Amino acid sequence: MKKSIQLIMFLAFILISPSAFSQYYAGVFIGFNSSKLSGDAPANSFYNSLMGINTGINFDLKLAKSVKLSLQPSYSQEGTKISYNVSGQDQPVDSIKIRLNYFSLPLLVKVMTANNRFYAIGGMEAGLLLNSFMSSHDIEKDISVDVRNWNLAVHFGVGLRIPIGFPNLYVEARYAQGIINLSDEPLDSDFIPRVKTNGFKVLAGIEFPLQKSNK
């Protein structure tokens, strides 16, 4: 984990170096997450998706004609619903919602198509847990389980860039998969056992080149 964070910070330093200024882009974005946990689940239950907000800023460095490196500090609402199978009811009951709010630092690579409109995107995200809570029957309370303060996830997806003059609009659809357990506790001794995060993101934003260019 420490090595991954050090690598992200090193590449962030490269992004803000003066020599990269003429190929530098900055912007803002907002969108939503459809996230859930995956892994061990309590007895007679399973995890369902929970919607949340994802908003932040992006700093892009053009590495080559069709390749950009993108650092995206952001606030990300993630979590899950826990649905229980209740005897006598045909449908599962969504009894509990767990919200995990992160300061996220994705470091992503964008590979553009020849027309510079469509692109593939992929990379890593480090997330610092800001707070967490559990809600049940419209009552929120502090989560009573111990989860990691850091999360690490891989991202991959596609995007569309829409020039509107000097700035560009863009939309992205991504899948994010956590690669570390939020807890290492066995199922019979913790409310959240060995689970990882996963989900989909749909984002829309606007970016500005720091030097006007038609490229």
Evaluate whether residue 142 is within a structural domain. yes
The span from the CA of 166 to the CA of 208, in Å, is: 7
Mean pLDDT of 139-152: 71
Residue 67: φ, ψ to 5°? -130, 130
Q: Is the dihedral of CA 195, 201, 207, 213 positive or negative?
A: positive
Confidence at residue 17, expressed as pLDDT on a 0 to 100 scale: 53
Give this prediction's pTM.
0.80
Total tally of structural domains belonging to the chain: 1
How far is Cα of residue 158 from the mean position of the Cα atoms in its chain? 14
Give the model confidence (pLDDT) of 175-207 as tens digits. Answer: 999 999 887 664 444 555 678 999 999 999 999
Evaluate whether residue 36 is within a structural domain. yes
- Which strand (E) or helix (H) includes residue 215? none
Question: Which CATH number goes with the domain that contains 119?
Answer: 2.40.160.20
| DSSP designation for 159 | E
How many contiguous H segments (helices) and E segments (strands) does the chain have?
1, 11
Evaluate whether residue 113 is within a structural domain. yes
Helix (H, G, I), strand (E, B) or coil at 171: strand
Confidence at residue 166, expressed as pLDDT on a 0 to 100 scale: 84
Evaluate whether residue 215 is within a structural domain. no
Residue whose C-alpha is closest to residue 31's, from 50, 55, 51, 49: 55
Confidence at residue 178, expressed as pLDDT on a 0 to 100 scale: 94
